[in-house]
Every structure is written in C-alpha cells, then in structure tokens.
Amino acid sequence: MQDMKAAKPDQTVLGIGIILASVLTMAFADAVVKLVSADLTVWQVFVARSVFAIPCLMVILMAMGIGLRLLSPKWALIRSTLLVLTWLFFYASLPVLTLSVAAVAAYTNPIITALLSAMVIGERVNGRQWAGVLLGFLGVIAILKPGTDAFSWFTLLPLMAAVCYSLAMVLTRGKCQDEQPLVLGLALHCLFLVTGLIAIGVLAVIGLNADTVAAFPFLFNGWTAMGAREWGLMALLGALSAAYFVGVARAYQIAPPSIIGTFDYAYLVSAAVWGFVFFAETPDLLTICGMVLITAAGLLVAVRPANRVVTD
C-alpha cells in the first residue's frame, strides 16, 4: 500500500479545493433531505435520488470514454457499503436533530480518519497535525455542548456515521486509489438504489405496527406519494450527490486523508449557513467559537514542513 502511495505524488492543493466544493454542495443537499424528511422516507430518498444520479454519471462516463470496469470490485463494494451506512445513520438523525448539531456530531470523522490513516495505511501524521486535530475536537465539543439541551442521544447516529465515513475514506486511499472516481460514484449510487428497494420491499412484507411507524416514519414508513415538487427535489439531489461523491472520492485519492479529512470540517460552516436559510437555525456564540476553532484546526493541519515537497 505504501508503494502505491509513493508511485503517485500527492496533489494536496487540488484535493483541498475539491473537498471544499464538495462539502458545500453536500451540505445544501442534506438540508434538502431534512426539508423533505417529514414527507418521504430515507429509502425513497435513496431510490429516487439514485434514479437521477445514475443516468447523470453514465452520460459523463460515456462522454469521457471511461469504461465501467472496477480494478478491485470487492474493495469498491466494501467502500460503497460503508458510505451507504454513513448516510443511513446521518439521515436517520435529521428529523430529530438540527442540521448543525447533526453535522458537528458526524464531523468527528477527521479525528478518526487521521488515526486510521496512521494505523492502517501508514500516513505520516506529525505533531502539528495532531495538535490541529485536537483543536478541531475542542471545537466540536464547544458546538455539541454535552450535558445541555443541545445534546441528544440521537447524536450517536451521526457519530456512527462518522466512523463509517472515516473507514470508507481510508479505504479509498489505501485500496481504491487507482479507481476512476466516476465509476466509484456509479457503484455507490447503484448500491443506494438496491438498498432502498430492498428496504422498501422488506417493510411492505413485515408490516410494522402503526405505533412503530408513527414514532419513526422517516425510517419505517412505506413508499409515500410523490408530486412534482418531490420528484424535482430528488432530481436536484441526484445531480448534486453525483457531483459530491465523485468529488470526495477524487480528493481522498490524490491527497493524504488526514489533511482532506480536516478540510471536511468546512461542512460545518456550510451546514450552519443552510440551516439558517432553510430552518432559521441561528448558531449561538459558543457554536460560532467552535466553528472558529475548527477552521483554525484545518489551517494548522494543512501546514506542511518546509522541507517536504508536495506536487500540485
């Protein structure tokens, strides 16, 4: 794995740019999912979004003359499974938590990513970068406010999402570095589609009681009627998610996960902005301080030693 890494110079600046654009896009898409969570189920989102994302990706692949072959189907499947679990856990929390709180809980993942990068694929994480990760963690704590009304046991869901996401990103770097990002994105959306269809079928067969469905309709309700507005939003989500998942795959392929994972923190600022626009969620002073700490952490981790040459 380290030989594979050495064969391809890091493109850190480009990777940072891609991840920043990607998380801004995905924060908007997640705000849309939260918006429709009262009317649709998570399985409908998986299916309807992928129905639009898959053709988008296919058209781009054909236009670029890229084949559909995966170099390592097994690792691509494991990666896709981890990402499906990531978004299942995260989306399941959105009807209960504010977008900004759910985002902060999920974005403990850069800390996990840095640790896994060092342990699993031998990425060098120096003392300054670890300090940045710890500073980012303090920012997360400031925003989560454990022990107050802002904290909920439902934050365990996005925390589980963080673990799955970190594993997927380290796997992207260690085992899927040579895969075409568009093909990885297509494989992921195919799995989203299959997972959603299976879940809808299983729920229809087992027929949960009305009380259980009423308690968690976003997870346990069946397929509900969709009008032009809902289909339009799903088409938008399909295009956005196709762009996001391809961007994330590319960013983690071309730059160290410990650095890209820290710039993933920009999602928190984006989520706060869209939370205000869509739901009038206004961050308090402590939350703003936490975001400042997280931004400072990102800059600290991105700084490389002067004697290290990075190809951009």
Share of the chain above pLDDT 70, in %: 90
Measured distance CA(282)–CA(85) in Å, rounded: 29
Would residue 143 count as lying in a domain? yes
The total domain count for the chain is: 1
- Looking at the chain, how many residues does it have? 312
Find the DSSP H helices in the chain.
2-7, 12-36, 42-64, 73-93, 99-106, 109-120, 127-144, 156-175, 181-206, 210-215, 217-220, 228-254, 257-263, 266-279, 285-302
Residue 4 in any domain: the answer is no
**Within-domain flag for 312:** no
Residue bearing the bigger pLDDT, 75 or 207: 75
What tens digit of pLDDT does each residue of 79-111 get?
999 999 999 999 999 988 888 888 877 877 767
DSSP 13-78: HHHHHHHHHHHHHHHHHHHHHHHHTTTS-HHHHHHHHHHHHHHHHHHHHHHHT-----S-HHHHHH
Domain span including residue 273: 9-302
* 1 inside domain: no
What pLDDT, on the 0 to 100 scale, is given for residue 230? 92
HSE value, Cβ hemisphere, 13 Å, CA-based, for 113: 34
Q: What is the pLDDT of residues 158-205, one digit of tens each?
A: 889 988 988 898 888 888 888 888 899 999 999 999 999 999 999 999
Residue-wise pLDDT for 105-134, tens only, equals: 787 776 777 777 777 767 777 777 778 778
Question: Would 309 be classed as within a structural domain?
Answer: no
Q: Which two tokens stand for residue 168?
A: 């997927």
Largest CA distance in the chain: 64
